[in-house]
Each structure stands twice: as structure tokens, then as C-alpha cells.
Structure 1
Amino acid sequence: MAHNFFISHYSKDFNVAEIIANLLQKITLNQIQPWFSSDKRESGGLMPGDIWFSQIIEKISRSKAVVVLLTPNSINRPWLYYESGIAQALPECELIPICIGIKGNDVPAPLNVYQYYQVSDLESLRNFTAKLVSKFGIPFDEDMTKGILERVISNLSEITFEPQKNEKQPGIEEILNEVKNHFDNRFIELISNNNISRTNSAKRLLMYDVSINIKFNTGTKTHVLSVSEDSTFGDITDNIFFLLERRVAPFTYLSEWILVEDSTNIHIVIREVADQIPAKNIFKINNSYSVKFLANPYIATDSQIRLDERR
């Protein structure tokens, strides 16, 4: 076979599709081959003279999995949902949405009924790759892939999406979203307070996305990370480090950078117990956070000065 899985994407996101394709080829030592229409390699993508519609139908029908790349560029593109519908109709083909730059709550129907993965989140990216290679019966070597996945996170952090206009009009949808957000928050409170059983199903449900804003010389980039039941604050900051790799040295939280909650401007000062504090106790659902680069290491008196200024 010329390919094993299909990447459904918008043409402007070819660079993301290329990173994902290269990742999966590398970790499987070319045992599986991706196909995506904008592949610029000599033997990839659509060829001169190809009837593009027929080629895409054929490639999807021969795939064991269709990976749907959802970004701010593509989320409203009808063609992705058409390709997803073809895959959904094939009994032996698995449909896997992956997100970058958007939250899971923003994924529209019918893709929102599928398990999605945030590929800018290290743990979520690991789970996605493990799931996909297992589809082909290939063992997933976590030790071998760790460094590769970290480099992918760093490469994805450099991708910028064009600002998207919000075309939604006020109405019943916004009201329903408010109700949904209320119940999402209440559900997390109940689990956190041990008012319901922590079954495996409940743990899977207790996963939400948070926005991390990083200001670079070229502008501010927003990355979306997943917070799960088992995530610690240290897991989240480790993931952010890979997004900042070219700006800061390892193990420099509070010395070269710090996280700030956007709505309150509270600086998150956590040092030696970062791996013991559950991330859900720090990162609030529907909140956003920003990376602040430090000219000097953060010290205790900085917090005192900030508290005095609030009074």
C-alpha cells in the first residue's frame, strides 16, 4: 500500500499536517505511511493529472484511520466534515480528531462525539500517537519517542494562525453554552470534593482545556493544553517549557518565567512541590493564563510588593 492513514486538513495547515506525518513515520521507522493532499514530497499528495475528488475518496477508503486536523483555520471548513463523513461510513476506518489552537469545547458536531487530542499538549500527543500506532499493531516505545514528541511540541509552538472573526450571533447557542459551562464547573467541584465516585469513566470526563498565551517578538501565540484528573502543576509547566524551549533554559520556572492568571493577574508562585499539586487545583476551567518572562528571578518580596499594591 502507498499509504496507511489519511490526514484530513485545510490547505493552509499543511505545515502542521507535515509535522504530524513526519512524527508518525519517524516513531514507526516508516512502517506506516501518511497521505495528505498538500504533501509537497515528490511521491506525496496529489499528482499532476489526478482527479482530486476521486483520489481523495480512494485514499480514504484504503485507510485504517483518518486523522482530522482541527485548527482556527479549518474548524469551519465544510470539506473536512465531508471527508470525516466518508471515514465514518467505513466500518474498518477509525476517525481521530486532533486539535491545535482551539479548545475541545469549540469542536462542532459531529466531530465532538469523538475522543479528541490536543497535539500541543505533551501527554495528549503521546496518547494520540500510542493509539494510532496500536491501530496498526506496532508497539509504542515510550522511552524512544519521548525526545521526538518534545521536539514536535517545540516545532508546533512556532506555528501562528491568522486571527479568526467571530461569526456567531447572540442567541440561544450562547445561553446553552453558559448553562453547559455552569454544569462543567459544578461537575469538577463535585469530583474535587469527593462527592461522587472517582471511577475510570469519571476520570476521563474530568478533562478540560486551558489557554496559555505566550508573547513573542512576532506577536502573542495562544496554545491549548489539557488538564486531566492525574495532571500535576509540574506536568503543565513541563509542557509549557517545550513551547518555550528556544527562549528559556530547563528548570527555570520562577527564575526566567512565571505563569499569570489573566482574569486576576495573580502570579502562580509554586516551586518545590509542583509535582505534588493537582493541576485542577490551580487551573480553572474556562480561564486563560499568560507566560511572563522575568528580568530577574522571582523572590518572596515580589509577592509582598504585589499584595501591598492591591490594598
Structure 2
Amino acid sequence: MNNFDYLRAGTIKEAVRGIATQPANQFIAGGTNLIDLWKYDLTHPARLIDLNGLDELKTITELPDGGLRLGALVSNNATAYHPIVEERYPLLSRTILAGATAQIRNSATNGGNLLQRTRCYYFYDVASPCNKRVPGSGCPAIEGQNRLHAILGESAQCIATHPSDMAVALAALEAVVQVTGPEGQRSIPIADFHRLPGNTPERDNTLAADELITSIDLPATGYAAHHSYLKLRDRNSYAFALVSVATGLELEDGKITRARIAVGGVAHKPWRKPAAEDALIDKEPSPEAFGAAADILLAGATGYGHNDFKIELARRAIIRNGAMALDPSCQRPGAQPSL
């Protein structure tokens, strides 16, 4: 029996105060990942602090600078189908819809999506050592079954990957995560939100234990004209990505003037390298140009046996997704991109 207390927070301040009183307290909103972790005996909340009464976090509003604020408690489905998101940020909409079943998307929240934990099978198996679950116990994935695991940014302590699709699009869009804690509010660029494992793989992100995500802010630039999300997986029915790529481009006179590329399924966080994007500026879009960018982005990639194929798969995905971004209509079922 997992005994726990329950508090339904009426204000953001009450929620933050409730989480700060006891390290074992946890927030719950959609609960789509928390309940899984609980069932697998991976987490044991002393108190659940229910956020669903915080209506101010359930809205999507336009920002004065032309951007868009996504409330942390807005469901993934409501976000994907919001008229402004579909019109100005279709890359985000497509990415969310690639991420899970409609039932899960109806419950999962924007804030919770960023906080979901790895789906590494060793992490979920309490009989196995896992540095992410029990620091210092080891990482059996390095020598074991590692087909789904990281090829970039990994460490000797952990080669797990982050499972979120939405986070990959947010990385390409350069979103900013707004959080509130006992010391007040702060902004975290999405590039700085998730961490690489290093020597502390148990820490997934830079959010303090007593902080609450309140919103995700999108900039004015949404790459509506030239964008694509490509998700490669073992089956086409909401499996987690082996490799995924979110690409946004701006073009003028047939040349790339701005590029953003983020890769998922390959690291502990969505993987971006501004140098790879800069290499595309003033280039005509072509397999050669995207291939050169891919080589920069994937520099230093290392396989661990079962996942060696991911290096070449990621390179080809970046090239293909660049072509797809030129004409988003080619992303309809059965359509083919061309350069």
C-alpha cells in the first residue's frame, strides 16, 4: 500500500509552499508519467499537490512581443489544436501529435511533458542497477541492450535519452520556460532546461525541487512556411523515437537566411548545435548543405553496439527533414519530399 496525503492547491503560492515543506512531496496534473513511475515502484510521494485548480495556468495567450504563452496546465491536445499554434507554430502542433495517443494527449500537460523521465528499460527495472535511479549503482545499458540509447552528450554514468517529442520542437523554436519558486519567478531558456547526465544523471533538468513550471513562452518566429518534424521509430503507433528531427527554416531568394535543427532520441536532452545551423546560412537548400550541417551537429557521436546505427540514421534524418521543411505539404501521408 502506498499511503500519501493530498492537497488541492488553490493558488500558485500555495502549491509552491506545499512542495517546499517536504522533499518527498510531488505535484500532479495529468499524471500520465507519475502514475507509471508509482506503479513501477520508482517514486513514493509523501503528499500529492494537485495543480488542477490553478485555472490561470490553463490558458494560451498572445505576448506583447508577438510570441505565445502556453500555460503549463494546458493539455497537449488542446495545445496542438489551438488555432494560433496550428497557424503560427505548426512545427509544434505536428510534433505533439506525433507523441502519444489522443487519450494520453488529452490528459498530459505542457509542463508535465517537459518533466517526464526517461523510458530506459534499466531505469524502469528496479531489479537492475541504474545510476539515474540509484546514484553510484552503475549503468548496465553501456554494456547491455542499448538500442534506444544516447549517441551524444552521454557520460560513463548514463546513456539514457529524453523521451519527449514536444521538447524537440520547443528546442528548435527556442522556447523559454517560466517557473515560480519560493524566491519568485525566473525564466529558463529551453536549451538550459534539460541537463546532460555528467556525474549526476539522477538530475534530469535545472528546475529546483521547490519550483513550479507556470508557462512555456514561444518567440514570434514560428517557421510556419518552412518546417518539418520527422520521427523514426520501430512502429508507427506512438512508439518512442529512435531518432527524431525538428527543422525550421526561413528562405529568401532561394537561400537559407535562418535555420533551426533539433534532434531527439539521441541524447539526455534535445540536441542542437548553433554552428550546424550557421553553416546553412546563405546556402541553397540541398542534400549537400544539409549533410554538412548534419556532420557538424553529430560530431563526436558514439555508439555502444546495439545503437551504432543511430549515427547514420540521424544524419540521413537531418538531410531528409531539411528537404521536407521546404514544402510542409509533403508531410501528408504518401507524399515525398524533393530537392
Bin of the TM-score, shorter chain as denominator length: under 0.3
Normalised to the residue count of structure 1, the TM-score between the two structures is 0.25
Instruction: Tell which has more relative contact order, 1 or 2 (C-alpha 8 A, sep 6+).
Output: 2
